[in-house]
Structure 1
Amino acid sequence: MARNTELAELAESIFAASYDKDATGLDAAAWKACAESGLTTLTDPEVGGTLEDSAVLLEAAGAWAARVPLAETDLLGGWLARAAGLAVPDGPLAAVTAGVTGGDADTVSVELRRVPWGRSLAAVVVLDGDRVLVLDTAGAAVTEGANVAEEPRDTLRFTGVTPVAAAAAPAGAAAELELRAALGRSLLLAGAARGALARSIGYAGERQQFGRPIARFQAVQQMLAEAGSEVAAAAAASAAAARTARTAGFGDPATEFAVAAAKARCGEAATAVARIAHQVHGAIGFTREHDLRLVTTRLWAWRDEDGNESRWNDRVGELALQAGADGLWPLVTGRP
């Protein structure tokens, strides 16, 4: 995928301006800047961005460990609301699949667990079987939680609340929502891997041992080369998945195959790159004071979120078997 240089530069400038290695929770300054630039609704037809544009944005967000729910808002919550014909609420969003119980004809009750950025969301878009509900988080009781990267993963409890809006779910919504979540996470993983590699190369060039930078030692060079190959593989797989989703649509088996392969490959890269980054940094890389943890903890957290490596590798195998001998080549290459 040709990198959208202008968009990449805009995203990098926003994330760099508000970067704070010691902060947690929503980065309000970065969110405001992204919203004003149209990046929080990038794939909205009225904005005109593509999934490949979103790939550039999310990779940058991953590299900078940006504390903004861009994938959750645009690729998931915003998409699901639009697909159901509902107005998209302003502010940070998330989308979840959950079984909702009704208090009466007009109200619902539900407990939503490990909602990304739950405490900071304006609304949650819920896929409840054959309907889509928009729930205002002002009516939720929040139990705060976090993943290993200290990103909010909260429990939201709604009791007898009236949805902001409701509509019939579009056909295939659950399958598409799952693929969109895996694609978004793959792109973030690719970016975080790039960020970890960049920090490692920089440190290896600065750290002196036996009178010279450790980057001049062959063993360190080999580790960095291995990490570089993993970063390249993750970037290629996630970019290919975004491109396939744009051209073929999420209902095409080729997209499911590409997304499954990307999430599995990015999860594999996450493990290798995090390991190598910490080996290069030595003991200093394990301290809370060092910003390496911002990307490596995200690599560890995100490789398991939205389906881990084993789950998506299994799906790759299932799709290959379903395609059969004659259909495997077109499935893998996208060509007849």
Structure 2
Amino acid sequence: MKLGSLKSQSLDGELCVISRDLKTAVKATHLAPNLREAMEKWSQLEGSLQQIYTDLNNGKANGAFAVKESDFHSALPRTWLFADGSAFIYHIRLVRMARKAALPETLTTVPLMYQGECGQFLAPTQDIPQRDFSHGTDFEGEVGVVTDFVPMGVTPEQALKHIKLFVLINDVSLRGLIPEELAGGFGFFQSKPASALSPFAVTADELGAAYKEGRVHLPLNVTFNGEFFGKANAGAMHFHFGQLIAHAAKTRDLAAGTIIGSGTVSNEEQGAGSSCLAEKRMIETIETGAAKTPFMKAGDTVQMEMFGENGQSIFGRISQKVKSV
């Protein structure tokens, strides 16, 4: 099943069911006004939403309309918690090298995680606002999951059962602000402004055999200014999503609608490219002694998309431009 949030006067948008081919949609506001509230009643609404999805794919849904992705918010325009992990070890090593920071002793045993902005997500086609380009604007391509209510102390195996939806994430980072924030012993905050989600969220069955062992084994296609930038496979996560959720829930319950991010998708195979500028810059530094690729400037564009085995887009596309404000 695929779900989205149609833009409306509400900050949460209107709950919609999206066809498998992303061409048509139908409102489901008679079940819940928005996806955030639907997550709180997931066990009650899942069957009805699935029936709408079946009818829509069979051409039998009343009120169906053509999808225009720019009419949609991020799948969840806002929610209660966005906890972003860093589950790709290769990425951690590179960015730590970039800021001359030591690797944590628990690198392979304890996930890294920070709490990000969740009161607003940029729409997937919305400009990324930037007022000071010395801040080092960067994109980070990630996969994320949306959970129902997760009780404190859940095990990684139990946590996997609480995953209800998957999304893509562009986790916007301001690289120039990160070292100073972390040096103060607190952070991230200023260095992590609003991110964007894919226009559509999907259930695990839409991923087919690509979802196994708590990971999505598909490449994340990233283009920068219209040119290939990366196709790193998201299945290379060291920590799977159940482990990330359990880490987040160690000392607290997680509200329904919580988003857990994978961290920047990263592969050691350099032919796969990268999912953020910082990683590419570090590779350039290692190979040539200096970073050549600049951080984002006004007018730069980034696109992120993931395709299934049938070649169809799964989540729709994140397509953003940097705008000076």
Normalising by the residue count of structure 1, what TM-score does the alignment of the two structures yield?
0.24
Q: Which has the larger radius of gyration?
A: 1
The structure whose residues are more often helix, as a share, is: 1
Normalised TM-score (structure 2): 0.25
Larger relative strand fraction:
2
